[in-house]
Amino acid sequence: MEFFATISQFEPSVWWSLAKGFFVALLVALGITPVVRRLALRTGTVEHPNERRIKKGIIPTAGGVAIVLSFWAGALASGLLGQETLALLLGTIIILITGIIDDRRELRPLSKLIGQVGAAVIVALGGVRIEFVTNPFGGMWYLGWLSIPATVLWIVAITNMINFIDGLDGLAAGVSAIACAPLLLVALQMGHLDAAAMTIALAGAALGFLRYNFNPAQIIMGDTGALFLGFTLAVVSVLGAMKGAATVAMAIPALALGLPIFDTTCVVIRRVRNGKPFYEADSSHLHHCLLAEGFSQRQVVGVLYGVACGLGAAAVVVAFSSKVMALTILLGVVFTAVSVARRLPGVSSQSSPGSGHNGLSL
């Protein structure tokens, strides 16, 4: 396979650097998260019970800081970062500040969006850009000056999608770590070692944090962590899979991040149909539907982990398949997603949002 032919050309030092990036991020997260938890309790950076988070007690909400520090420790330790590192660092700082302020006193949606757009513009101007999109009839379309707005739109969208699914213990961290696997393989296959180093460091940071975030969580990541995970996943997907003229470049990260994309799409449709602002938090996410069916939090997270793994596997197959096979898989995923969406309350026109039963049967 082309993949094995590509990675066989890497020097042993490359593998050592990637392993170092992963384990440094993992160990730093394991070590620093309890420290951040204690500091959060002392400073009152906590979240009280609410319907959306489904919490029964007060819990520290500064875990995102631990994820950010762990990621950068691992990424820098790898020694494989490229010229876009400074732009990503500046973007991270903006995301970090936005998230911390939001966790402390809840920013208005517009203010939060301004911070996200500012971070995305910085990385786009720094060279992280979607330069081509696939022409379904063959060939590629070069975006030219549109590459910057297209990149900003992608980064802001994925940033918010990860933030939207952060409603259960361990869900956002686990789904993000799972999404890193196909993105890492594609980055390696395309020889983008900087993207690979960032992706594997992000996986290490997310997994290390997950040790304390899985149900029952000792700490949650807050918007600081969720925004950072989404922002970084969006950036590494551009660097590793979409920064080039690969035939199915856009499909790979779309599948790898398929769960938050699907969930957000259904939620936005439901909110618009109900006459609510699409950005207004509620209890209409997929994990809420599963909880309403009687699943426990751990069972819901397990089911959604399984879905994320399936979509990640599909992304890998698409990345290393012929164009016909890739299109067949994509159509199959889209058909399945539409079929599931039609059974969710308020998404299909046949659904009855106020009927009491959510219409989901798994």
Among left, alpha and beta (phi > 0; psi -120 to 50; other), residue 19 is alpha
Position 122 scores a pLDDT of: 96
Q: Evaluate whether 75 touches 198 at the Cβ level (below 8 Å).
A: yes
What tokens appear for 169 in the block? 């213990």
> What is the spatial distance between Cα 126 and Cα 130, in angstroms, rounded to a whole number?
12
CB neighbour class for 247 (10 Å; exposed up to 12, middle 13-18, buried from 19): middle
Amino acid code (one letter) for 59: I
> What is the spatial distance between Cα 102 and Cα 58, in angstroms, rounded to a whole number?
17
CB neighbour class for 136 (10 Å; exposed up to 12, middle 13-18, buried from 19): exposed
Among left, alpha and beta (phi > 0; psi -120 to 50; other), residue 275 is left
- CA torsion sign for 29, 34, 37, 39 is negative
The pLDDT tens digits along the chain (362 residues) read 566 666 777 888 999 999 999 999 999 999 999 999 999 999 888 886 655 556 557 889 889 999 999 999 999 999 999 888 999 999 999 999 999 999 888 888 899 999 999 999 999 999 888 887 766 556 677 778 888 999 999 999 999 999 988 888 999 999 999 999 999 988 888 888 999 999 999 999 999 999 999 988 999 999 999 999 999 999 999 987 766 544 456 778 889 998 999 888 888 887 777 777 766 666 667 887 888 788 888 999 999 999 999 999 998 888 777 777 877 888 888 888 888 777 766 555 544 443 333 444 33
> What is the spatial distance between Cα 252 and Cα 237, in angstroms, rounded to a whole number?
9
Alpha-carbon radius of gyration of the chain: 20
Q: Evaluate whether 6 touches 188 at the Cβ level (below 8 Å).
A: yes
Q: What angle do CA 166, 41, 176 make, to 5 degrees?
A: 25
Q: Evaluate whether 270 touches 345 at the Cβ level (below 8 Å).
A: yes
List the one residue out of 173, 87, 80 whose CA is nearest residue 125: 87
Chain centroid to CA 354: how far?
A: 31
> What is the spatial distance between Cα 359 and Cα 326, in angstroms, rounded to a whole number?
31
> What is the spatial distance between Cα 325 and Cα 17, in angstroms, rounded to a whole number?
34
> What is the spatial distance between Cα 135 and Cα 344, in angstroms, rounded to a whole number?
32
Position 244 scores a pLDDT of: 52
